[in-house]
């Protein structure tokens, strides 16, 4: 009965969120359209970036991003539709802002010369490189979406332990972008960008009431 009452009370919000979920999917696909060289490509590599080692084992962490995003979105869609709305708008905004930057300020990250067959981890990195062009680097959407996922878990006090664990995971995601040579240090700005976007909608939707 409580579930029925909850659904009856929030059915309009579920309809809105369903539309937003579709928009998350389609705005995320803009990345594929912008991930190529343009007439002016910038390289933000610094001497400090050259000191960062290549650690292929971090591919395991790197590849965990999408499953954690899907789990988080599904959880808040089902159980906290009022929180899902600003979360979804934050994802959409992050995708739109990032891809706008890619169009007007395209960047490129030099990658190490590795070959398939060395070991499992290197093989997975080779697959990553073959499926993702070395453009669309600044700001990093891997860093941004990981930060966004970790931020939303802090909205409700009862999920605080999960929030801290997800935050540690998000930091590892950010490190993985560096150790796999997918991004340079400057690209990490995607994380504070995402947090800033979420805080805007956190206040707009008055989410402190959800605490």
Residue-wise pLDDT tens digits, 44-91: 999 999 999 999 999 999 999 999 999 999 999 999 999 999 999 999
Cβ contact 146:170 at 8 Å? yes
Pick from 162, 189, 196: nearest CA to 204: 196
Mean pLDDT of the chain: 97
Start-to-end Cα distance in the chain: 25
Q: Give the pLDDT of residue 1.
A: 52
Pick from 190, 206, 210: nearest CA to 91: 190
How many other CB atoms are found less than 10 A from the CB of residue 66? 11
Check whether 99 has a pLDDT greater than 70: yes
205 — phi, psi (to 5°)?
-95, 5
Could you tell me the residue ranges of all domains in the chain?
2-35+44-210
On the question of a cis peptide bond just before residue 176, with omega within 30 degrees of 0, the verdict is no
Q: Rounded to an integer, what is the distance from CA 190 to the centroid of its chain? A: 9
The mean per-residue pLDDT over the stretch 105-132 comes to 96
Q: Confidence band (pLDDT; 50, 70, 90) for 149?
A: very high
pTM, two decimals, is 0.95
Q: Considering the chain, what percentage of its residues have pLDDT values greater than 70? A: 100
The Cα–Cα gap between 182 and 137 comes to 8
Q: Give the pLDDT of residue 3.
A: 76
Q: Confidence band (pLDDT; 50, 70, 90) for 131?
A: very high
Q: Confidence band (pLDDT; 50, 70, 90) for 6?
A: confident
The mean per-residue pLDDT over the stretch 170-189 comes to 99
The Cα–Cα gap between 38 and 41 comes to 6
Check whether 4 has a pLDDT greater than 90: no
Sign (positive or negative) of CA dihedral 65, 62, 129, 182: positive
């Amino acid at each position: 009965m409580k579930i029925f009452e909850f659904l009856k009370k929030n059915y309009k919000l579920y309809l809105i969120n369903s539309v937003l979920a579709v928009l998350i999917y389609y705005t995320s696909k803009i990345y594929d359209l912008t991930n190529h060289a343009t007439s002016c490509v910038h390289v933000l590599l610094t001497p400090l970036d050259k000191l960062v080692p290549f650690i292929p084992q971090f591919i395991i962490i790197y590849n965990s991003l999408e499953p954690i995003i899907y789990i988080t979105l599904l959880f808040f869609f089902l159980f906290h539709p009022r929180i899902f709305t600003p979360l979804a708008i934050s994802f959409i905004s992050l995708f739109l802002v990032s891809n706008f930057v890619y169009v007007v300020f395209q960047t490129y990250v030099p990658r190490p010369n590795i070959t398939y067959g060395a070991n499992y981890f290197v093989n997975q990195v080779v697959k990553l490189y073959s499926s993702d062009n070395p453009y669309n680097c600044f700001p990093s959407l891997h860093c941004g979406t990981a930060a966004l996922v970790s931020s939303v878990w802090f909205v409700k006090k009862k999920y605080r332990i999960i929030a801290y664990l997800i935050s540690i995971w998000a930091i590892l995601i950010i490190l993985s972008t560096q150790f796999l040579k997918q991004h340079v240090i400057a690209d990490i700005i995607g994380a504070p960008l995402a947090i800033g976007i979420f805080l805007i909608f956190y206040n707009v939707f008055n989410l402190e009431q959800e605490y």
